[in-house]
A and B are shown apart, each in its own frame.
Chain A
Amino acid sequence: MKRNGTPSTNGKGVRLMMTLDGEKVAFTRGETIYEVAERHRKDIPTLCYDPRLEPFGGCRLCVVELEGARNPVASCTTEARPGMAVRTRTAALEVQRRILMEMVASENRDTDVDPMHGYASQEMAELLDRYDARTGRFEGARSGESRDDDDNPFIKRDYDNCISCYRCVRVCAEQEGDYAISIANRGFHTQITTEFGGLLKDSACTFCGQCIQTCPTGALGDLKALANRDVPGETKKTRTICPYCGVGCAVDVMTREEKIVGVLPAMDGPANEGSLCVKGQFAFDFVGHPERLSTPFLRDEKSGALRPASWDEALDFAAGKLRKVVKDHGRRAVYGIASGRAPHEAAYMMQRFIRAGLGTNHIDNCSRA
């Protein structure tokens, strides 16, 4: 991931300077015009841009006027150079951007999708509003063919709403290293595909959901979250850490009233920068699952059958057995394993209990993955 640093010097102590909308600004060697402009809150529109990925230069919405250049240049792929004079929002550029948005809208079935589709799913709709581009101009054939036949439980592949920005393909390759999807055909007939046009489950896909979360139109959708689209209540987001393993991926858990309705990766999570795996992204419905145990059980010593018990009874039983093991075999005879599905607070208490309570370091977590 590229980070915008403190503007640097040219090595001789002279700061690198360019002109941005008439104002002299400093920049760091290697920064693109887009990155410099974003630092100065120019709010240049983009659809194919994801700050975590290599700049692609496909949507052309980020074009800016560069003094001395015949045509506008894509700010996302053009590096800033000393002495450059750039204008980010001229009347001509805004007209070109509006026309580009009208063109994009014309190739899709829907211009508005439920936000539960994914993290970036509102990007196109927001730009259509910003450029007042829901005009119905440039009507014609639509691009992309949805894969309703792909019955995987996680990823909706609704390519009738695809605009061929290839963020999904690039995130799969550059962030995940899976290379599960690619681009078939060319021109207006480009189509996101797996190897030989098959289903995701037969491909190298790991169902991490990264493609969903970078899709700017909702052509890809989070099926687990979309299943909860009709749950009543305002969506509340709570920043937390995924409990499944030791990486520490930051997530925003979406809830409506008391129900978890979905998980969004935190793009600013220091450990994951927006990445998640299939478990952190999709495996949350055990929390409210009807088969989840809601009371302790004790096993009958004679029949071996489980019977519901009170918490006091169960805890007394467990404490008694643990004391006996320590007494008979020593404290190192006890080994604790915490569940990856338990909350962090419970995992913390577990290790305190084993270490401080029993005096052993024999403590681990099931998701040492």
Chain B
Amino acid sequence: MPTATNDQLLERWKDEPAPLLPLLHALHARDGHLSEEALRAVAKGLRIPIADLFGTVTFYHHFSREPDGLDRPRVCDGPVCSMRGAEVLMASLRAAGHGPQPMPCPGRCDQPIPVIHRGTVLTGRTASTLVSGPSPLPPAPPDGVEECVFAGIRRPGRATLEGYRHHGGYDALEQAVTAMTPGEVIDVIDASGLAGRGGAGFPTGRKWRAVAEAAGEPKTIVCNADEGEPGCFKDRVLMDHDPHGTIEGMALAAYATGAARGFIYLRYEYPETFDILEGAIAEAEAAGLLGDGILGTDFSFRLMVRRGAGAYICGEETSLLNSLEGKHPFPRNRPPFPVTHGYENLPTVVNNVETLASAPPILVHGADWYRGLGLGDHAGTKVISLSGDIARPGNYEVPLGLPLRELLHDWAGGPPPGRTVQAVTMAGLSGGFLAGADLGVTLDEPSIRSKDSFLGAGGIMVFDDSRDMIGVTREAMEFFAEESCGKCFPCRIGTQRLVERLEGKGPGTVDAWVDEVIDLNEVMKKTSACGLGQAAPLLTQSLIRYFPDRIRKHVAQGGGGPAPATKGRRR
């Protein structure tokens, strides 16, 4: 196949919605990096100021500006992978002459260490044993536990349209567009108690209603599949093994709100998922389940996939929208919210993959069924991505309200033999740690928030009693410092200062060290512009709460002396 020219690629994309990212990806794949010449062509073709485009490209971790940069393997150095020997794998790749680069968690925490090389995810522990393969299916739940989004995921052929339809797939959409009004669809979702499963927990029915009632056309459904939180890999498994579930959920949202177009904003780190989604969308279009005149009605919905390029902040919904629009991906100021001022400043639903995938079963089985899946007063289920020092890591769809210890010990086999659970993270890393008696929480927001943490997107990393919690916290904070967008002062400076203090720099007395860290924590929590800066200090806050002795030792050993007045760390 002849190589496409700049002009041909521009012609292909310039009149498409949200053209910048796919155009950059096409050039990146063609040249192995983004050259000055290619970027100048993009700036001219899409009428973006060249300085803006250059700055925006440098924002994304995975766009390389160096020739052959795409050839350099990227190796996960997240907290779980570093415990499993990411450094050894890096060294082995270096020895093999590959010039590896570290990358933040790419969502494979239930497998050996992941490496992304030229658009393929490989996993393994050494350079010579890296293999590619499908992501693992979720482990089966204990007997008698009913699931919602995972109910059909382990059936063979589920990822194909035929396999999906064989067990009632797209029945919900058919029922909605032929026998229900949009308002009735929203009523069911509202009554089910479904709330945002990406972490924010906003009631889904209320969001859909707000978009349905908002003025402005066309409306847009955005599926937030930028699963960037370290230790979260639930959306990947949903899209890999049950892509039509998410697609049907988006079509339902579109019907309910009157939206004509939709995007799946997929993180860069899931290249195989991109192919699966594109294939599933093509299948659904061919079967009249997407596109114009869906199922013979006058309801039309066009669905597109857009890939991110490596930026945690793009999982924040307003950063995501800026990224889709080709702008610098800083979070927007809110209000106004995306329900009225979303994609292209028009009414937009932004929902997480798991939220959207929950909609079809809720419509088929009813609101009461879904509410009943939770324990006590808690409605529904939540997928937990479990990783770290645990016998059976993986994704578990738990009834909300399940005791954490029951998940850790009864469902997932507990910590390694002879070890005890020292601490777990909540919300991936964003919820900080729970330890000691607080491990007695139940998995629902009220219980976890009462411990100054939150369930969020449902990533839980387990650290046994052999782990150094200062080291774990430092690695976690390095992630937030790396991913801080740089828009607001408390997060931009605060994450850097917390990393330095966890590295052993900063004040040399415990009192002064703790005093500075507490001040940073409070200012970040109270004044940061978005969730990243507000949540990052939960790590250091919970470290101080649960591990004061370890901090004393840390400051006595490594602290003391001013930090060198050099430039900040750069990965």
Contact = CB atoms under 8 A, between A and B. Distances in A.
Contact of B493 (A96, A104, A185, A196): A104
A208 interface: no
Interface string B480-522: 0111111111111111110010000110000000001001101
A283 interface: no
Given A96-B523, A141-B566, A185 B516 contact: no
Nearest to A141: B568
A55 B569 CA distance: 30
B568 A96 contact: no
B252 to A, nearest CB: 32
A103 B529 contact: no
A311 interface: no
A188 B51 contact: no
Contacts of A261: none
A134 to B, nearest CB: 16
Contacts, number: 166
Contact of A196 (B54, B486, B527, B570): B54
A106 interface: yes
A219 interface: no
B541 interface: no
Contact of A182 (B54, B311, B489): B54
B50 interface: yes
Interface stretch (A57-65, A223-231, A233-241, A326-334): A57-65
A100 interface: yes
A187 B485 contact: yes
Nearest to B485: A186
Most buried by A among B505, B527, B570: B527
Nearest to B519: A99
Contacts of B36: 196
Given A103-B497, A139-B563, A185 B54 contact: no
B328 interface: yes
A141 B500 contact: yes
B523 A107 contact: no
A182 B55 contact: yes
B506 A58 contact: no
Q: Is the interface of A mostly helix, strand, loop or mixed?
A: loop
Contacts of B519: 99, 137
Contacts of B505: 140
Contacts of B492: 164, 187-188, 190
Given A72-B526, A203-B51, A60 B484 contact: no
B567 A142 contact: yes
Interface string A196-225: 110000011000000000000000000000
Interface in B518-559: 519-520, 522-523, 525-529, 534
Given A57-B333, A104-B489, 4 more contacts: A77-B333, A99-B519, A138-B497, A140-B497
A140 B496 CA distance: 8
7 contacts: A60-B527, A72-B527, A74-B333, A77-B333, A173-B49, A187-B491, A188-B495
B468 interface: no
B486 A186 contact: yes
Given A140-B500, A182-B54, A186-B485, A204 B506 contact: no
Given A99-B523, A188-B495, A142 B55 contact: no
A103 B490 contact: yes
Interface string A14-58: 000000000000000000000000000000000100000001111
A163 interface: yes
Size range of the chain A interface in the assembly = 35 or more
A193 B54 contact: yes
A199 to B, nearest CB: 13
Given A71-B526, A72-B527, A142-B565, A60 B489 contact: yes
A47 B490 CA distance: 13
B570 A189 contact: yes
A164 B534 contact: no
Nearest to B331: A57
A138 B49 contact: no
A182 B59 contact: no
Contacts of A57: 333, 487-488, 529
Interface residues of B, number: 55
B510 to A, nearest CB: 16
A187 B488 contact: no
A140 B526 contact: no
Contact of B486 (A63, A145, A164): A164
A184 B484 CA distance: 13
Given A58-B487, A189-B570, A196-B36, A103 B494 contact: yes
A143 interface: yes
Interface string A85-98: 00000000000100
B97 interface: no
Contacts of A141: 496, 500, 563-569
Contacts of A139: 506, 562-563, 565
Contacts of A164: 486, 489, 492
Contacts of B481: 187-188
B51 A181 contact: yes
A120 interface: no
A154 B50 CA distance: 23
B527 A179 contact: no
A351 interface: no
Given A96-B527, A179-B52, A190 B486 contact: yes
A63 B527 contact: yes
Given A185-B59, A186-B484, A55 B497 contact: no
Given A141-B566, A145-B567, A180 B488 contact: no
B58 interface: yes
Nearest to B55: A182
A60 B488 contact: yes
A122 interface: no
B568 A58 contact: no
Nearest to A103: B493
Nearest to B312: A186
Nearest to A104: B489
A290 B495 CA distance: 54
B418 to A, nearest CB: 40
Contacts of B54: 182, 184, 193, 195-197
Given A140-B497, A196-B54, A100 B490 contact: yes
